[in-house]
Amino acid sequence: MKRLILVAFLCLSFPWAGLGQGRASLTAPVLKSEPDVISFTTRFSDFVDGNDYRIGVGTTGEELPGAKFELSQGDAPLPKELFSFRQGTAAAYFEVENIQVQGFFFPSSELPSGDQQIALKVTIPRSEAEKAQRLFIIVTKQFGPDTWYIMDGAEINNSHW
């Protein structure tokens, strides 16, 4: 009887323990700083089948002029169209309300399978990075027609370059 009570207590006390599993994620960006440009590479993985995702890089201001985006899976480049979007509800990750993002859309039918990753390399003129001061790398998941939430994110700021 004591075991039954203990099991019931644990189940009721920790019902949310497994909810974080299966979330899309990104690796820490690997940064390379040069006199005229900064570049970084981040890898995205752990996409959940049946969901649509967006990945990208943004700032609290405008788009990053002169930024170059390279998307690949394994050794093969991915021919995806770059687009811009505003990501709201960013305060939980970055203590900012909105991020102006340049990135890529991945419908569930185009997600990598298994343990494959998507790599994103971004090269930005140093002058633009200095203006922005903070760069946000995000992966978002769609929860409704116009509802996207950040699943994982990282920040690179002027102290890193």
pLDDT band at 16 (very low <50, low <70, confident <90, very high): very low
Domain boundaries, the chain: 20-157
Q: Confidence band (pLDDT; 50, 70, 90) for 3?
A: low
- pLDDT of 141: 96
User: What is the predicted pLDDT for the residue at 115?
Assistant: 81
CATH number of 20-157: 2.60.40
Q: Give pLDDT tens digits for 17-54.
A: 334 445 899 999 999 999 999 999 999 999 999 999 99
* pLDDT score recorded for residue 40: 98
**Residue 152 predicted with pLDDT over 90:** yes
Q: What is the pTM of this model?
A: 0.85
How far apart CA 78 and CA 66 sit, in angstroms, is: 20
For residue range 80-138, what is the model confidence (pLDDT) as tens digits?
A: 999 999 999 899 889 999 999 999 999 999 998 878 899 999 999 999 999 999 999 99
**Which residues lie closer than 8 Å to 50 by C-beta, 6 or more apart?**
108
Three-state SS string over 70-134 comes to: EEEECCEECCCCCEEEEECCCHHHHCCCCEEEEEEEECHHHCCCCCCCEEEEEEEEHHHHHHHCE
Report DSSP letters for 21-39, one per residue: TT--EEPPPEEEE-SSEEE
